[in-house]
Amino acid sequence: MSIQATSASLAAEPRATYGVRARPVWAALAAPYTLFLLVLLIVPFANVAFFSVHSYSPTKILLPELTLDNFAKLFDLYYLRLFGRTFRLGLITTIVCVVLGYPLAYFLARARPRVLAIGLFLLIMPLMVSTVIRVFGWIVILGRKGLVNEALLALGLEPVKLLYTETAVVIGLVNIFLPFMVLPLMASIERISPSLEEAAQNLGANWRQTFARVILPLSVPGLISGCLLVYSISISAFVTPALLGNSRERMAAQQIYDEVLVSFNWPSASSLAIALVALTLVLTFWALFATRRAGRRERAQ
């Protein structure tokens, strides 16, 4: 999930207490989880990489010859369309999250502690509830006889088809990932001293100018990491498009799910997974280093 929060190197320099001679102790402490991650994170993805360079066989798990066909196949029209749709929905989701999330982040960054506590609870609590439950709520709201259409009928208007459209998918994705935009943005805006805003206003700037010339430029690190985060999570979304979208217009993760569990074409699913995970890691590491760099620059000042 989010990567902007604490880390030992961000928060403070570690205080070494036990000295150099105590080396085996840190190794013993770090070893269990390190081993765990090697076996249950690195090995599984190495296995996926292994599958991705082998051919599919309907009778065996895979054929022993090496091939790059699975990756070449990703450039077929079908997969290009799949990627195009996935990236487009991810981009729209990110843009909507910026538009909705920026004012909220600003509000929270400048809120009094009591209001902030309530605001954070209402932001984080829905985030922690299972995706499937929030998506279910949207099915009830957007369905043929849902809240929106009943309201339209009551107003004497025609009902609209919302469920199983891209609009529904975007609504669901924005609803689920909005906090990932708000939290880093809010952290960025909090660091901008309110006295800067007052100074701008005393010098005759209206709020629009203050926003465009003071707040926005100074909140760019938070904006970048929020955007990268929301984009990279939404392009691997599965549950939301599976339940709110049209089964013919799928996103990348749905294709992977089907190839793994329905058509059992594991090599093909693997090449798709490798492509998606590589892209996601590039984006999230970019966000991580942007945050760290901003933090370092701030400490230097």
| Residue 246: partners with Cβ closer than 8 Å, 6 or more residues away | 164, 165, 166
The C-alpha atoms of residue 26 and residue 12 are separated, in whole angstroms, by 19
SS (H, E, C) 59-80: CCCCCCCECCHHHHHCCCHHHH
Residues 141 and 147 sit within 8 Å (Cβ to Cβ):
yes
Give 29 or 68: the residue with its C-beta nearer to other proteins: 29
Give 77 or 168: the residue with its C-beta nearer to other proteins: 168
Q: How far is the CB of 64 from other proteins (least distance, A)?
A: 14
Residues 23 and 31 sit within 8 Å (Cβ to Cβ):
no
Q: How far is the CB of 177 from other proteins (least distance, A)?
A: 11
What DSSP state is assigned to residue 214?
Answer: I
Q: How far is the CB of 133 from other proteins (least distance, A)?
A: 4
- Identify the residue whose tokens are 């901008």: 192
Residues 159 and 149 sit within 8 Å (Cβ to Cβ):
yes
Residues 201 and 117 sit within 8 Å (Cβ to Cβ):
no
- Identify the residue whose tokens are 């009830």: 140
Give 66 or 133: the residue with its C-beta nearer to other proteins: 133
Residues 219 and 192 sit within 8 Å (Cβ to Cβ):
yes
Give 61 or 220: the residue with its C-beta nearer to other proteins: 61
Q: How far is the CB of 59 from other proteins (least distance, A)?
A: 15
H or E element, residue 132: helix 131-142
Give 88 or 127: the residue with its C-beta nearer to other proteins: 127
Give 77 or 206: the residue with its C-beta nearer to other proteins: 206
- Identify the residue whose tokens are 């009928």: 153
Give 15 or 158: the residue with its C-beta nearer to other proteins: 15
Packing angle of the helix pair 252-261, 77-109 (nearest 10 deg)? 120
